Structure 1
Amino acid sequence: MLGVIGIIISLGLLMYLAYKGWSVIILAPLLALLAAAFAIFDGGSVHLLATYTESFMVNLANYVKNYFPIFLLGALFGKVMDDSGAAKSIAVFISEKIGKGKEIWAVVLSCAIITYGGVSLFVAAFAIYPIGAALFKEADIPKRLLPPAIALGAFTFTMTAIPGTPQIQNAIPMKYFGTDAFAAPILGIVAAVIMLLGGMFWLTSRLTKARALGEGYGEHGDSHLHGTDTTNLPSFTVSILPILFVLVGNFILSKQVFPNIDAAYLETDYKTTLTAVLGSWSLIISLIVGVLLAIGLNYKRFDDIRRCLREGVQGSFLAIMNTASEVGYGNVIKGLAAFSIVAAGMTSISANPLIGEAISSSVLAGITGSASGGLSIALETFSETFMARAAEQGISPEVLHRVASVACGGLDTLPHNGAVITLLGITGMTHKQCYANIGMCTVVIPTFAVIAIIILGSFGVV
């Protein structure tokens, strides 16, 4: 019993202190050892130093080994697209084409296009905010609806649902299910439509209500924001090309090129299979081409290309270490005897593996405050169980991939989530002002999307 109490206290402190701004890199090992200490008092055979070096650090290192190239290249691509002005160019083009009266659509679609192309969620928020603030202010739309609009475009359907998205949440399941980034395209599109249209319905209904009450943009001390200087931005065509190359290249490599190569050497020399690495290889090469193309097309627009690349690299370190620390923490927790009670509960709720997978991915994402961290822990712990049950019921691994990916993007954005805290910091808003609408767009509606694709996937839709 003490072991279960220790896990609850540890998780509660992780969520609370992360919400208060403490570094997860510091918190994760300390709170993992706190839970382990409770297990000792509960009569378990746990050794704290060994738990740290042989469980926490080993799992942290394995996560870095598996996903660092994608984090690194994604951060570089996002930084290059930001510093070159390409991300802003896309946002300006969309806002001009959509026109007045559709400012929320302009913000959501701008975020969606650049994140679907591989730009990180954080870069999207930084790049779109000044433009979105100018649009909202001119249209007298309450500023409290701007963070939810950015979150809807960047943190939901392009992160987990649309087939081919290079975001890490869509890359993680490839390793466990032998799939690629385009797994279960019909389910992905269905989930994306539910999230996009559901979120837009919610935000537009909130706008209608606010205007009926006479609420406008408000006074927020951001009079210095005037959109963005468009005099030296690249054209929309030049800006969108690197994104198209990432998406098209990923598709061709994963569907046509790598499946047709002779990769027998992988089993004999590296103890792995082409199926296990195909998705990652395709994404890595596509992002490399995207980075090089974005630099080549915009070289003269960089003040200092070396500084840009250096900052991109540095940004990737913090991103992957935050997530890897949460993965290390989760693996310590899952190794404790008391966790077997939690695991049994999550896997025995239903005989349908899609339901168990969705619950475990979402709950662990909520606990860690990280979609990728929670997803990694869930699949590392339960993927073999889910695969075996899916095979018995004739459910495709592609369906497992898509359900896991979409599900991790639900409870991950609870108030302690790092992306939510960063977004509010960028926009100068508070949880009290914005979180109810953020939560509706990134937690509640995505949960309905998961339910929908579980039902469709159970009937064989891929």
Structure 2
Amino acid sequence: MTAVAIFGICLSLVALMFLAYRGVNVLLLAPIMATVAVLFSGGHGGLLLGTYTQLFMTELAKYLGKFFPLFMMGALFGKLMDDSGSAKVIAHRIAALTGKNRGILAIVLACGVLTYGGVSLFVVAFAVYPIAKSLFREAEIPKRLIPGAIALGSFTFTMTALPGTPAIQNAIPTAYFGTTPFAAPGLGIIGGLIMFGGGMLWLNRRAAAARAKGEGYGQHDDLEETAHGPAQHAPSFLVALIPIILVIALNYVFTTWVIPAMDTAFLSQPKYGATKLSSVAGIWSIVLAVIVASLFVLLANLKRFANITDTINKGTLGSMLPMLNTASEVGYGGVIASLAAFAVVRDSMTSITTNPVLSIAITVNVLAAITGSASGGLSIALASLGDFYLQMAKAAHVSPEIMHRIASMSSGGFDCMPHNGAVITLLGICGLTHRQSYLDIFVVASVITVVAGIAVIILNAVFGTF
């Protein structure tokens, strides 16, 4: 029976991956695939209904309860930066500073600055793509390399490695390990530099090889879309950049001084979940920093918004689908984790090594690859195994900070499968196919990211957490 149940879990995972790649909405797909797994585990009618309402929806609701403010404020901040013209101003200035002969570097840096400052990667892709077309066409760099450059700047070092990044992938571990978004800062910076340097080396070599073969930008029907400079009513570079600085600086200030100084004894009361400050401080600091930065964008650019009410509404509503998709994947993971057969799968993954850092890296990478989602895979892994890994780390005298950093970095490893929603969206924005550009996305956002994770694990083993 165990073999049949394990087959059911694998079947549901493969079907989830395949159908998501084919475009089926995860909101519908996740509960259906959870039901398939339960059926193979001997489920019946009443159990199926109970599993959906009491397990799937409960896990989904727990995830929303923890991360709803982060998703909503992040999406609103990104929309404010986009509609005010701030995102394009920053991208254009970086492109001007690097020069047309360094088009790849300009796009990677522009995406990196914006995403590290809290702007949604989807907003970044839309804002930077027109600039990338102009730079790549002028420098005769193949258009097929644009998705790789945007992915390197948006999906890698600023998403999971650099300390303090407001990305959801850096916030999730704080709730399980009692850490802050600045966990293991030295190792995170080194990992980020490896991602950046390795990705740039790959993309520049690909561009050089194309140049040697006489391949230029290519024949594409996008001449009419080529980007010009920022509109005359756009904010100055300083005004555009201040919100990015505020997110990073205030995140550190709230984490280090403000929140620890608050009277939070009330959190121990049952009505507040009998929780510890360490479980919520990381999320609080990011949300507060983004709120302040959003208010600055709003007040500094009031006259630049065509319709401020429309911007706010679209920004907040724009967070719903990504958030619910991820929460549905977490609900699916919660159902799978409740099955007796999952204990066998879990034990097989966690027994590969007794090293907690290496073990969590393997588990998160596998689940992120299966779900095609960094935040989804990370959430499933920590929701079902977070306490296990925390105790495993304590027993081995391993710092929770390195557990946080490696868990975060691993979520951005093999998540960039062909069915990854961000990959599909990015290719759609660029008007390119998987056949044309997926290899570069996979190398810079997955292969090199995994290499960076391995390097950080080795450095931590030799020098400790720093």
Q: Do both share a fold (TM > 0.5)?
A: yes
Please tell me whether residue 210 in structure 1 is matched to residue 210 in structure 2: yes
2:454 aligned residue? 451
1:229 deviation in Å?
A: 4.3
1:158 aligned residue? 158
Please tell me whether residue 40 in structure 1 is matched to residue 39 in structure 2: no
Asked whether the 8 Å contact 1:94–1:109 carries over to 2, the reply is yes
2:376 aligned residue? 373
Structure 2 counterpart of 1:301, from 275, 294, 304 = 304
2:424 aligned residue? 421
Per-residue displacement from partner, 1:65-106 (whole Å, max 9, x unpaired)? 100000000000000000111000000000001112110000
Asked whether the 8 Å contact 2:251–2:285 carries over to 1, the reply is yes
Per-residue displacement from partner, 1:226-270 (whole Å, max 9, x unpaired)? 214422221110001011111111101100111123322211352
Distance 2:111 2:441 in 1: 15
1:139 aligned residue? 139
Per-residue displacement from partner, 1:402-424 (whole Å, max 9, x unpaired)? 00000000111111000000000
Per-residue displacement from partner, 1:14-58 (whole Å, max 9, x unpaired)? 1111111111111000111011111117xx998100110111100
Asked whether the 8 Å contact 2:349–2:363 carries over to 1, the reply is yes
Distance 1:36 1:13 in 2: 14
1:242 aligned residue? 243
Amino acid at match of 1:17: L
1:314 deviation in Å?
A: 1.0
2:176 aligned residue? 176
1:457 deviation in Å?
A: 2.2
Asked whether the 8 Å contact 2:350–2:359 carries over to 1, the reply is yes
Structure 2 counterpart of 1:390, from 377, 390, 393 = 393
2:252 aligned residue? 251
Amino acid at match of 1:4: I
- Structure 1 stretch 311-320 or stretch 223-232: which is displaced more? 223-232
Q: Equivalent residue of 1:281, what SS?
A: helix
Asked whether the 8 Å contact 2:143–2:217 carries over to 1, the reply is yes
Amino acid at match of 1:33: T
Amino acid at match of 1:279: G
Amino acid at match of 1:461: T
Amino acid at match of 2:323: I
Asked whether the 8 Å contact 1:118–1:166 carries over to 2, the reply is yes
Structure 2 counterpart of 1:433, from 428, 432, 436 = 436
1:9 deviation in Å?
A: 1.2
Structure 1, unmatched stretches of 5+, are none
Identity %: 52
Distance 2:12 2:325 in 1: 17
2:87 aligned residue? 87
1:392 deviation in Å?
A: 2.0
Amino acid at match of 2:211: R
Please tell me whether residue 346 in structure 1 is matched to residue 349 in structure 2: yes
Q: Equivalent residue of 1:254, what SS?
A: helix
1:265 aligned residue? 266
Amino acid at match of 2:9: I
Asked whether the 8 Å contact 1:135–1:227 carries over to 2, the reply is no
1:131 deviation in Å?
A: 0.5
2:319 aligned residue? 316
Asked whether the 8 Å contact 1:395–1:457 carries over to 2, the reply is no
Asked whether the 8 Å contact 2:16–2:371 carries over to 1, the reply is yes
Distance 1:380 1:64 in 2: 13
Distance 1:56 1:273 in 2: 25
1:66 aligned residue? 66
Distance 2:9 2:100 in 1: 51
1:116 deviation in Å?
A: 0.2
Q: Equivalences for 1:73-152 in 2 at 5 Å?
A: 73-152=73-152
Structure 2, unmatched stretches of 5+, are none
Asked whether the 8 Å contact 1:188–1:402 carries over to 2, the reply is yes
Asked whether the 8 Å contact 2:91–2:110 carries over to 1, the reply is yes
1:206 deviation in Å?
A: 0.5
2:363 aligned residue? 360
Amino acid at match of 2:401: E
1:461 deviation in Å?
A: 2.5
- Structure 1 stretch 259-268 or stretch 135-144: which is displaced more? 259-268
1:30 aligned residue? 32
1:2 aligned residue? 4
Please tell me whether residue 191 in structure 1 is matched to residue 191 in structure 2: yes
Amino acid at match of 1:3: A
1:461 aligned residue? 465
Per-residue displacement from partner, 1:136-176 (whole Å, max 9, x unpaired)? 01111000000000000001110001000001000000000
Amino acid at match of 1:118: G
How many pairs does the alignment contain? 460
Please tell me whether residue 278 in structure 1 is matched to residue 281 in structure 2: yes
Distance 1:442 1:103 in 2: 19
Asked whether the 8 Å contact 1:39–1:46 carries over to 2, the reply is no
1:455 deviation in Å?
A: 1.5
Amino acid at match of 1:397: P
Distance 1:78 1:453 in 2: 31
Q: Equivalent residue of 1:412, what SS?
A: coil
Please tell me whether residue 325 in structure 1 is matched to residue 325 in structure 2: no
